[in-house]
Amino acid sequence: MGAYLARRSMAAVPLLLGVLTLVFLLVEAAPGDPFRFEPASGVSGAAQRTLRRAFDADRPLVARYVDWMRGFLVGDLGVSFTYRRPVSDLIREAGANTIVLAGLATLLQFLLGTAVGLAAAGSRRRWVDRSLTGLSSLVYSLPSFWLGLALVWLFSVRLGWLPVSQMHSVDAAEHSPGWRLVDFLRHLVLPCLALTLPAAGGIALYVREEVRALLGRAFVQSARARGIGEKALVMRHSLRSALLPVVNLFGLALPGILGGSVVLEVLFAWPGMGRLAYQAVLAKDEPLVLGCAWVTSVLVVVGSMMADLMSSWVDPRAREEAM
């Protein structure tokens, strides 16, 4: 197991290097220059040159590339052009906000999706299965930000129960910690729901298919022949095997937890990673774009590694195959 882990990590290094190089070249190729000001702005040419030097943006391409690569190794991601703060600080703050939103949503997706999928697969009544499956595929088809808009329209515009966007109310600082927590949770509900429901629908369909396929297999049939009830068949005999692909999905969902859902974060003005990266690209804030890309790429690589590790833990056969 240790050797397996080591080999997977070794294979990840060139992958990460490749991703970082590609992102660097992409950002370099994008037009626009954050240090070019309109003549009317009153910023002199000398001041522009000073700014450029202060942010280390005046050095040749290769030198900056090498510098950045070295920076990533020691965890120094440079200083953002637009925020004038270390990129690592910005990412830490935005990352925390995203973990709360996307982490909770991911957890709910898997709990809800697995539960609905199991209920649909295990139900002996055809209409229960069909309505759960139908509902899941319906929800799975909704564009997540359309669902977000619909929720905002219902709960904020029509009913006025929940706030439209942001993470806190404007006057939150004046209130007690308890009030602030409730305020925060109220802001969390809508983006979390919009993020949870479509993916939960997809997971439910997936789990149902897997469990249904397993229920037809010989080992389950023999258990059924021994007189074991349908519920026990689903829960005890197929669940473990059916969870394998779910575990795999979870590893693949990991980058999403930190990468954030850009569209929903933009829609709900949630100050997370996705929104940070989006604004950084629009402002051509090179260090910030590269920093965000670095975090996401590391997560993608780690996520797929974790998926492999977890499936080899649940199912020893997968370990044999991967070796």
Partner 1 sequence: MRRSGWEVVLTSAWLGAVLLAGICAPWLAPLPPDLQEDVAGARYLPPLTRADALRLSSERVQVVTSLRATPAGWTGIRNGRREEFAASEVLGVPTRRFYLLGTDSLGRDLTSRLLFGIRHSLVVTASSALLAVVLGVAVGSVAGLAGRAWDAGLMRGVDVIRCVPRLLLVLVCASLFPPSTLLLVLVLGATTWTGLARILRGEMRVLSRSDLAAAARASGASPLRVALLHLLPQTAPLLAVNTALRLADIILLEAALSLLGIAAPPPAVSLGGVMASGSDALADAWWIAAWPGLLIAGMVFALRSAGARFLRLPDPPSVA
Among 296, 309, 311, 312, binds partner 1 (CB under 8 A): 296
Decide: is 61 part of the binding site for partner 1 (CB under 8 A): no
Determine, following the binding rule CB under 8 A, whether residue 232 of this chain makes contact with partner 1. Answer: no
- What track of x and - describes contact with partner 1 for positions 183 through 222 (by CB under 8 A)? --------------------------x-------------
Residues between 30 and 49 that touch partner 1 (CB under 8 A): 30-32
Residue 26, CA distances (Å) to 39, 40, 55, 139 in order:
28, 30, 20, 35
Closest residue by Cα to residue 301 from 82, 63, 11: 11
The Cα–Cα gap between 163 and 177 comes to: 18
Q: Does 167 bind partner 1 (CB under 8 A)?
A: no
79 forms beta bridges with 86
Task: Point out which span in 53-61, 133-141, 171-179, 243-251 binds partner 1 (CB under 8 A).
Answer: 133-141
Q: Smallest gap, in angstroms, from Cβ of residue 9 to partner 1? A: 15
Task: Give me the half-sphere count of Cα atoms (radius 13 Å) on the Cβ side of residue 23.
Answer: 25
Short-list 286, 295, 136, 301, CA closest to 207: 136
Nearer to partner 1, 46 or 271 (CB): 271
Cβ neighbours of 277 (radius 10 Å): 24
DSSP state of 237: I
The residue written with tokens 């929720």 in the block is 151
259: left (phi over 0), alpha (psi -120 to 50) or beta: alpha
Site for partner 1 (CB under 8 A): which residue of 263, 314, 315, 319? 263
Residue among 299, 297, 259 nearest 275 (CA): 259
Asked if residue 143 binds partner 1 (CB under 8 A), the reply is yes
Of 19-27, 61-69, 76-84, 88-96, the window that binds partner 1 (rule: CB under 8 A) is 19-27
Applying CB under 8 A, among 223, 228, 262, 305 the residue interacting with partner 1 is 262
Whether residue 157 contacts residue 145, with contact meaning beta carbons closer than 8 Å, is answered with: no
Binder to partner 1 among 141, 166, 221, 222 (CB under 8 A)?
141
Q: Considering only residues 289, 309, 310, 318, which one is a binding residue for partner 1 as defined by CB under 8 A? A: 289
Work out whether 15 is an interface residue with partner 1 (CB under 8 A): yes
Check residue 18 for interaction with partner 1 (CB under 8 A).
yes
Q: How far apart are CA 213 and CA 26, in angstroms?
A: 44
User: Can you tell me whether residue 302 is helix, strand or coil?
Assistant: helix
User: Which range, of 45-53, 63-71, 177-185, 296-304, touches partner 1 by CB under 8 A?
Assistant: 296-304
Instruction: Note whether 237 and 191 are within 8 A (CB).
Output: no
Q: Which of 4, 37, 145, 155 binds partner 1 (CB under 8 A)?
A: 145
Q: In angstroms, what is the minimal distance from the CB of 308 to partner 1?
A: 14
Nearest-angstrom CA–CA distance, 59 and 57: 6
Question: Can you give the binding site for partner 1, defined by CB under 8 A?
Answer: 14-16, 18-19, 22-23, 26-27, 29-32, 133, 137-138, 140-146, 149-150, 152-153, 157, 209, 255, 259, 262-263, 266-267, 274, 277-278, 281-282, 284, 289, 292-293, 296-297, 300-301
